[in-house]
Chains A and B, each alone.
Chain A
């Protein structure tokens, strides 16, 4: 059965999720990437019509179209590289109380620690699957910070069973991408004939 998170997301909804679990999201979601994080943390500005607390953000910059009635709709919206936000994400989690961060690839140790401390998770959406994602968006309900340009603006949308989202950092601070990267690194050293000891608990 599909595990579906709904906004507002309580700590209880995500507490027992573990890395590698697949979930979906229904409710409100806002895009927020490099410039959006800077606006919140460096300029101290919060959006007027979106609540980060117990909410969900998406590291993504969409293509937005306008239909014949002048209404905006999602053409294509896939995740962007989450790691670019690593420098600011821990502070962002602390300041905003966001519960779910969706992106591509993994995050690093500061974000993992913040997820543990403040009760948040990071999930990966399959990179590049932007039309699949757009079809899960029911409606664009608002847009703020349009001065940042289409990719960087904060697009607010209502989504239904948005996913698959694979948990990459959980509320214990476990970090799936980091673990896998260590495994890949071990394999690389083996191939190059470097002298390294292989931990026996890493297996895919």
Chain B
């Protein structure tokens, strides 16, 4: 790949990373404002005021809105016609280091077991990169999730007995949220995965978390369960800071897959109120469409891309 083009590719991914750390995606910010306006309990209202002020200060100063900019997790949907396929991994790694030093992001990555901080967010197996192929496309669909510590702590998956059924799924999710939700910076984004094994269910729960708020599973019975779980969790009323209030969640998304009749795998992944999730499409000429932060227009002083 031509050196100048490669530098442009690195800059795009680095700017995309910085943007994801500074600004919430459109759907999350809109939902937070909606929840803040609906909240009636005074303690919770005060917390929402602090959250909204924080979002505005971060945007005004161009600083990461939460100090925990997470471990960077990239999900690359690679068009089979994307011309720079071989470069994607090394470009993401280079952009991670660049963005960490320049934004700056918090250097979180510690090496396995030794716990030595690498200082750059790059390390053994980090950043996390997952590739999927998109046949017939010449684009790179790049998604980024900043996996913070507090909001990652509640994550778990388990294989239930099939007879435990939907009630077993609900119980597993509610127990997790009640036990750990207050520490994970509610209102929470809940991703649930339903599959055969512990790890596929966990992975599906992450895919669910990456879906925008308000979207539904295309499998009708699963979509119904999304609404039921959302309504139940909201009526538990954990609210910002875990002090109690009207609602608990930003949204509940479920990704399900046909499973073995003898197992019912369920996984849960939680995102905080500051769920930092970005999505861009990089075309084969390296032009970019911003999907997750459409309110930031190219050329807008606040838009880095």
A interface list, Cβ under 8 A from B: 20, 22, 35, 60-63, 65, 75-78, 80-83, 104-106, 124, 126-132, 134-135, 148-152, 164, 166, 176-177, 180-181, 183-185, 187-188, 191-192, 204
A-B residue pairs, 5 tightest by C-beta = A149-B117, A105-B183, A204-B244, A127-B185, A76-B67
**Chain A: interface secondary structure?**
mixed
20 additional contacts (CB under 8 A) given A151-B107, A183-B244, A188-B178:
A22-B46, A60-B67, A62-B67, A62-B106, A76-B64, A78-B68, A81-B149, A106-B182, A126-B50, A126-B51, A128-B54, A132-B53, A132-B54, A149-B110, A166-B241, A181-B182, A181-B242, A185-B178, A187-B237, A204-B237
By the criterion CB–CB under 8 Å, are B236 and A188 in contact? yes
Distance (whole angstroms) from the CB of A33 to the closest CB of chain B: 10
- Which of A82, A128, A166 gathers the greatest number of chain B CB atoms within 10 Å? A128
Is B272 an interface position by the 8 A CB rule? yes
Contacts of B7 in A (CB 8 A): none
By the criterion CB–CB under 8 Å, are B236 and A180 in contact? no
Given A128-B54, A204-B244, are A164 and B46 neighbors across the interface (CB < 8 Å)?
yes
7 intermolecular pairs with C-beta atoms under 8 Å apart: A63-B64, A63-B67, A77-B67, A81-B184, A128-B51, A131-B54, A192-B171
By the criterion CB–CB under 8 Å, are B105 and A63 in contact? yes
Complex-state Cα separation, A129 to B50, whole angstroms: 7
Number of CB contacts from chain A to chain B under 8 A: 158
Is B63 an interface position by the 8 A CB rule? yes
Is B89 an interface position by the 8 A CB rule? no
Complex-state Cα separation, A170 to B184, whole angstroms: 22
By the criterion CB–CB under 8 Å, are A106 and B235 in contact? no
